[in-house]
Structure 1
Amino acid sequence: MPRPAQPAPLFTNEQGQPRSWVPVGPALEANPEPNTPQARLGLAVDPTGAPIVSWGEDNGAVWGYFFRRAEGNVWSQAATSVFPLPASTFSPPGRPVFAVDPQGRPVMALIEATGHSTSTVRLRRWEGRFWSVLGLGLQAANNRLTEVSSASLAFNCSGEPVVAWGEIGPDEPSLGIHVSQWDGQSWQRVGERLSAYPDGVRGDGSNGIRPSLAVDSRGLPVVAWEESAMREFISRIHVRQWDGTRWLPVGGGVASEDMPSKGDSYSPALVLDGADVPYLTWTQYEGEDSRVLNQVRRPSGARWEGILEAGPRSEPVLAALGSRVFLLFAREDRLEIHTWDGQAWQLVGGPLQALPGETKLGEWALAVDPRGLPVVAWVEYSRNPFSPGKVGPVDWGETQVHVWRFQ
């Protein structure tokens, strides 16, 4: 998606009136029956500025993924469900990655089971009438005993997908990060296996998982991931950039090394602004009581500097377009969106809640439209989905997918 040379005013519209959060059409669900909660949420904005949302749900007959595109305040079907597929090809624990390419086509990276405890990453692209499968499943080992973990998706300067994923092959003691890009005909590897602790150096291996991928204006990928050395039992966030021939560390390579207690760091979210400056956030556990302290950092020479004071924020995610960088997180079951103005973070509108009364949040996602304005999607429960002492779908509460944009 092209980066705007001059984004629209953020806090006021073109007439000088204050912007606010506005629902995009009605709440979404595939099955109107209660107790069919939505999960595995995805959000993107196409080149025309229309939000496209995806989610997984049981529609009463089959579990599948559903897609809707906003046309004004009306939701139209953006694509038919990826599923049903043979049960042997679907690994329920794996959350897919959803994006829209520069031509406006939905693309989904799915972790699919290939056997007992084995899997691959497979990309599907909506061609307007059907889902095409891009090449073979992504497995660096090319072995039926390979197991993959979570993946991340971006697009290069040609509009082709680039994917990062975690993998452990049959002869490897631990998970490593791999990157490949589609050249229009087949998948091409980008460099070697990424691992902060190469096997044999420490003698105990390590596990690299949950990559977050971005591609700069030259088409070169940048990857952040969490990795734990097995002997140390501490997860850290590592960042590398491809320079065309090799992977180089960014900001010294370890973004979370100087945290006070050296606590575990999980689930990085990485974006690049219009000047290709990386912004990074993650979930950090600190202290004996495992307090959650999230922050945002960017590289400054050989280190990562914090530009958001560490504080209690749940599952932060970032999105950026041009000069605009946005941060989305949950606090006390309300969603907050902040933007970086170059010196400080500013709240964008007020906390978001769609349903009246006491509610609970499920998953959430963030995107930026071509004007540089944020769009948010989230799952909201009408009551606590996990009632104390009770188990089962009847206690999950009613849920819906909500999409709001700042306009």
Structure 2
Amino acid sequence: MDLFLLSRGLMKNLGSVLLAMLLMPAACIQIPDIEAPPDEPDCSAVGEEPIGIQWVSPMEGAQVGSSARLQVHLTGDTPEAVDLLVDGTAVATLKEPFVLDWETQSVSEGPHAFVVRARRCGQESLSTQRQLVVDRTKPSLIAQTPQDGAQWVSVHQTVRAELSEPVVAGSVNNSTVRLLAGQREVSAEVSLSQDGRVLTLQPLEPLPVSEVMRVVFDPSVADTAGNPVSMPSQGWSWRVPAFLPLGNSQTLWPRVDFFSFQVDRGGTPLVARLGTETSGVQVERWNGGAWQSLGAPLQGSTGDPQATECVLHLDPSDTPHVAWVQPKLDGSVEIHVRRWSGSAWTALGAPVIPILTQASVTDLRMKVESYGGVPVIAFKERNASELRVTVFRFQAGEWRSNVGSGAQSVPNLTSLHLELNQLNEQILGWSRTEYGFPGWAIYIVRKAGGSELGYVPSRHAESPMMAMTVGGDNRIVVASPVQSNGSQSVLVQEVLFGAGTWERVGDTYDRVTGRTDASTTALKFDAQGRLIMLLEEPESEASSSVRSLFIQRWNTDHWEPLGGALSANPGATPVSQSQLGTDKNGRIFLAWSEADEQDATQSRLHVFRPND
């Protein structure tokens, strides 16, 4: 081609390009970066400095969890690619500095062969094979003490967890395994067994009562594969109540229709009970591990019907006395009284016969005088025309009645109480209705030197008196019902002997807020002179028939609760006939009957001791 024509053509094309550029609007022109082609490895000296691969971690035979951190060290020529092979299959690529966090979900649990491969210029270098065990299963609790949801746990309970597999010892300490009472931490010594499977928490102080305890694990508590301990979905918690049961009432006492409860000064509980097991009265004492019978069942003559009531009392030397109402085949009744000699029951005189003819007997009460050990009994008797309270005292080997108390020809008389003061004067209390007057009148009578002194804390109560006790400082204390905010509350009042004015002990009281009726079943002074009140009350308005127990102690100017709601089957069955006792140290013991959870017709006797 002619050189001139070529030059002319080039110039023409260049002019066209310049013209097009001039016609374009002014703008920034983005010119994409042009990547330089990768440097081709210099393969001329291939094989002169081979690639070396050394494992850094994990160690041979190590366990790895859902993620495995793999690290190798390379020497020699720079590789084109570095791959992870598991059981001969490439699963991932390692980039410099050749550390990889590999997710193990693509392989099964168990042992696998791990190899790292480096490639360069068509040649491969392999690491040594490292056998690793994939373990994605978390350690779990297979046994716990206490059990999750346990209701009756001692304040001295050692906490123990057995795991399905070992955890790393270095991960277990009192910062990673914690014992909590509510939200408060309880100091405990935390230890792990040699095999790494049993974890123990030994509290450094008694567990707080009326609290829900729980154990919390930090995620750092893990097995060698890094799997943290798996806790149950509901957690691990239990209850530490203020009181613990004595014995197994479900099997020991099939059904208890009536009982009386006492505690000696050393803290040993005793019960006298009536039930389907025997036609007589059975007295039993707790021996530290089981209930032990005191002699054979007590009953009247052969062929007599089942006793209807019994009462147990201890004299100042802790000698048991028991009395019971014994019906006869001819329709009459007797009251029998026995004293425990240490090996047998001894009758105290002949049976007591009611004063009224053809009378029925209820509300049997008994006390023993503080000096001389003389027993006194009181009961309510009535026939077709009369109703009265009768008191008998054991003198010179026979029972002698006092001048008749109570009232004749009244519509009703109930809630009988008998106490003895330090002078062994008899204090009687009862409630009765009166013709022409609404409500219930509460009467307290003190028999002193052959005369009677009356105290009337209320004449128009809406319900009968609930409880009464006498203090060592000559105080009479009574609990009576009052209406407050649409429900029944408890009013506690006291009066000194010789004084005529009743004073309130705090405000009217109920334990559960809302429209639930509270009632007091016992008042008692402990050995330290502190007033204790035992209440029965529904736990909620929604379950008004399910009544639980609540204990209060008067503290200078207010009632303080001792523990929370108490029943053998919380939230399930109602309690009744609740009674309390105290020992010389002021420890409180409780007894009550409660419907069986499976069979509501069966009433079980439950006895509880302090959780201390």
Instruction: Sort the TM-score into its range (normalised by shorter chain).
Output: 0.7 to 0.9
SS of 1:224 mapped into structure 2: strand
Does residue 1:373 correspond to 2:594, yes or no? no
CA RMSD of aligned residues (A): 3.2
Match of 1:72 in 2: 288
Does residue 1:126 correspond to 2:340, yes or no? yes
Contact 1:237 1:265 in 2 (8 A): no
Alignment of 1:219-258 (within 5 A): 219-230=424-435, 232=437, 234-249=439-454, 253-257=455-459
- Structure 1 76/37 Cα, relative in aligned 2: closer, same or farther at 3 Å? closer
Match of 1:149 in 2: 362
Match of 2:257 in 1: 39
- Structure 1 54/78 Cα, relative in aligned 2: closer, same or farther at 3 Å? same
Structure 1 distance, partners of 2:298, 2:362, is: 20
Does residue 1:326 correspond to 2:524, yes or no? no
State the 1:222 CA deviation. 0.8
Structure 2 distance, partners of 1:84, 1:161, is: 20
- Deviations along 1:261-319, whole A, 9 cap, x unmatched? x344325422112212111124x3759x8x53332211263232321433431342112
- Structure 1 86/133 Cα, relative in aligned 2: closer, same or farther at 3 Å? same
Alignment of 1:7-406 (within 5 A): 20=209, 21-28=242-249, 36-59=254-277, 62-83=278-299, 86-88=302-304, 90-92=306-308, 95-114=309-328, 118-139=332-353, 141=355, 144-157=357-370, 158-168=372-382, 173-183=385-395, 185-190=397-402, 192-195=403-406, 205=410, 207-230=412-435, 232=437, 234-249=439-454, 253-257=455-459, 262-282=460-480, 284=481, 291-299=487-495, 301-310=499-508, 311=510, 312-322=517-527, 323-331=529-537, 332=539, 333-355=547-569, 358-383=572-597, 395-396=600-601, 399-405=604-610
- Structure 1 63/240 Cα, relative in aligned 2: closer, same or farther at 3 Å? same
SS of 1:293 mapped into structure 2: strand
Match of 2:104 in 1: none
- Structure 1 348/160 Cα, relative in aligned 2: closer, same or farther at 3 Å? same
Gaps in structure 2 of 5+ consecutive residues: 1-203, 210-241, 511-516, 540-546
State the 1:135 CA deviation. 1.8
- Could you tell me the TM-score, scaled by structure 1's length? 0.76
Match of 1:12 in 2: none
Contact 1:118 1:148 in 2 (8 A): no
SS of 1:55 mapped into structure 2: strand
Contact 1:256 1:265 in 2 (8 A): no
Structure 2 distance, partners of 1:313, 1:140, is: 35
Structure 1 distance, partners of 2:576, 2:437, is: 32
State the 1:336 CA deviation. 0.8
- Structure 1 270/351 Cα, relative in aligned 2: closer, same or farther at 3 Å? same
State the 1:161 CA deviation. 1.2
State the 1:397 CA deviation. 5.3
Structure 2 distance, partners of 1:357, 1:146, is: 41
Q: Which has the higher contact order (CA 8 A, sep 6+)?
A: 1
- Deviations along 1:36-81, whole A, 9 cap, x unmatched? 432212211123321112322223xx34433332233433333432
- Structure 1 30/232 Cα, relative in aligned 2: closer, same or farther at 3 Å? farther
Match of 1:8 in 2: none
Aligned length: 358
State the 1:24 CA deviation. 4.8
Structure 2 distance, partners of 1:364, 1:71, is: 22
State the 1:238 CA deviation. 0.5
Aligned sequence identity (%): 18
Bigger Rg over Cα:
2
- Deviations along 1:102-146, whole A, 9 cap, x unmatched? 3333222212224665423322223233322222333462x6534
Contact 1:42 1:53 in 2 (8 A): yes
Contact 2:300 2:326 in 1 (8 A): no
- Deviations along 1:221-270, whole A, 9 cap, x unmatched? 11111222255474322001111121111xxx22222xxxx344325422
Contact 1:154 1:163 in 2 (8 A): yes
Contact 1:374 1:406 in 2 (8 A): no
- Structure 1 42/30 Cα, relative in aligned 2: closer, same or farther at 3 Å? farther
Amino acid at match of 2:531: V
SS of 1:96 mapped into structure 2: strand
SS of 1:47 mapped into structure 2: coil
